[in-house]
Amino acid sequence: MPSLKDLKNRIESVKNTRKITKAMQMVAAAKLRRAQDAAEASRPYTERFNAVLGGLAASVGGSDSAPKLLSGTGSDQTHLLVVMTAERGLCGGFNSNIAKLARAKAEELKAAGKTVKVLTVGKKGRDAIKRDLGDAFVGHVDLTEVKRIGYENAQEIARDLLARFDGGEFDVATIFYAKFQNVVTQIPTAQQIIPAAFDTAEDEGATTLYDYEPSEEAILADLLPRGVATQIFAALLENGASEQGARMSAMDNATRNAGDMIDQLTIEFNRSRQAVITNELIEIISGAEAL
């Protein structure tokens, strides 16, 4: 049974931990609003940009003059998985859920006889996947020093992917990230970005209203690389909001758990203290009766 001093030290230690988790919760809450606004503000542009590209892609179809980023290499043997996670932990299952989805996709591809390569963005994803897919690693993007994610960060990642694609290193690229829904829910998502894939069901009828100068192929050749950067930027913003939401929720749970632990330790401390006092009284009374 722990002594009174040990119990008192544990209570003080847990109280200090609760102060830290409460402070981290408040910081995450402050950052969440800005990150959520950025993610939500990017969605209309990204959706409309993809709709325009989808309409152009539908008009080009499977023509021989279609850009390589749209038609692909003609093969799907080599897949590049771009796993986008956080640079820091203490955000619940945010990082592990994205890594789990990427590992499941890698196992599925390997079972089908495909070659899998992995590029990570964020060291937590690298640490989580390296144990199982260390031999498939081809690169890592470190954003530790980046104070605030900007479009230039997405452009750097996009240029790296496009250079690898032009060099024939892979046939299909898929990004993995968490789509922000609310503070409690962040949805791990896999999205193919190379070759470009669009849902053109809603835009097929609208494409006949436009005449393009220059040709659709020329416009696509210019816009598709920007589309890759745009999708990566949107994923980074969604990840940023999801990370802060997950951290806020995790620190709130940690603060509540610390409070419950303090209550339990306080009860145990009081009981032990009462037992010590009772023993001392018994000794005093016994000594008095002996006299």
Alpha-carbon gap, residue 167 to 14, rounded angstroms: 54
Instruction: Name which residue leads in pLDDT, 210 or 57.
Output: 57
Tell me what pLDDT residue 54 has. 81
Tell me if 153 is assigned to some domain.
yes
DSSP strand E in 166-237: where?
A: 172-180, 186-194
Under DSSP, is residue 150 helix (H, G, I), strand (E, B) or coil?
Answer: coil
Q: Residue 178 pLDDT > 90, yes or no?
A: yes
132-155: string of b/e by CB count within 10 Å (b at 16+)?
ebeebeebebebeeeeebeeebbb
Q: Given a cut of 50, is residue 203 above it in pLDDT?
A: no
Asked whether the predicted pLDDT for residue 208 surpasses 80, the reply is no
Q: Is a pLDDT exceeding 90 seen at residue 13?
A: yes
How many domains does the chain contain in total?
1
| Residue 18 pLDDT grade (very low, low, confident, very high; cuts 50, 70, 90) | very high
278 belongs to a structural domain = no
9 is a domain residue: no
CA 17 to chain centre: 25
Structural domain of residue 139, as residue ranges?
A: 21-201+209-250
Q: Are the C-beta atoms of 126 and 140 separated by less than 8 Å?
A: yes
| pLDDT for position 21 | 93
The answer to whether residues 195 and 102 touch, using CB atoms and an 8 Å cutoff, is no
pLDDT at 289 over 80: no
Give dist(CA 214, CA 233) in Å, integer.
27
Q: What is the pLDDT of residues 229-287, one digit of tens each?
A: 999 999 999 999 999 999 999 999 999 999 999 999 999 889 888 888 888 888 888 87
Task: Please give the pLDDT value at position 24.
Answer: 93
Helix axes 94-111, 123-133, angle to 10 degrees: 30
Residue 168 scores a pLDDT above 50: yes
Provide the mean pLDDT of the chain.
86
- Residue 132: CATH number of its domain: 3.40.1380.10
Q: Which one of the listed residues 56, 83, 91, 99 is annotated catalytic?
A: 91
For residue 55, the tally of other CB atoms under 10 A from its CB is: 23
Asked, for residue 92, whether it belongs to a domain, the answer is yes
Separation of alpha carbons 263 and 35, rounded Å: 35
pLDDT digits over 251-263, tens only? 999 999 999 999 9
Q: Is 63 among the domain residues?
A: yes
> What percentage of residues in the chain have a pLDDT greater than 70?
92
In a domain, 260, yes or no: no
Residue 209 annotated as catalytic = no
- Sorted by sequence, the CB contacts under 8 Å of residue 170 that are 6+ apart come out as 78, 79, 80, 117, 164, 194
CA gap 98, 169 in Å, rounded: 24
The answer for residues whose C-beta is within 8 angstroms of residue 99's C-beta and 6 or more apart is 83, 85, 125, 128, 129
Residue at 79 is within a domain: yes
The reply to whether 275 falls in a domain is no
Task: Provide the pLDDT for residue 206.
Answer: 45
- The DSSP bridge partners found for residue 189 are 177
Average pLDDT over residues 130-149: 84
Distance CA 18, CA 25 (A): 10
The rounded distance, in Å, linking the Cα atoms of 149 and 233 is 8
Structure confidence at residue 209 (pLDDT): 57
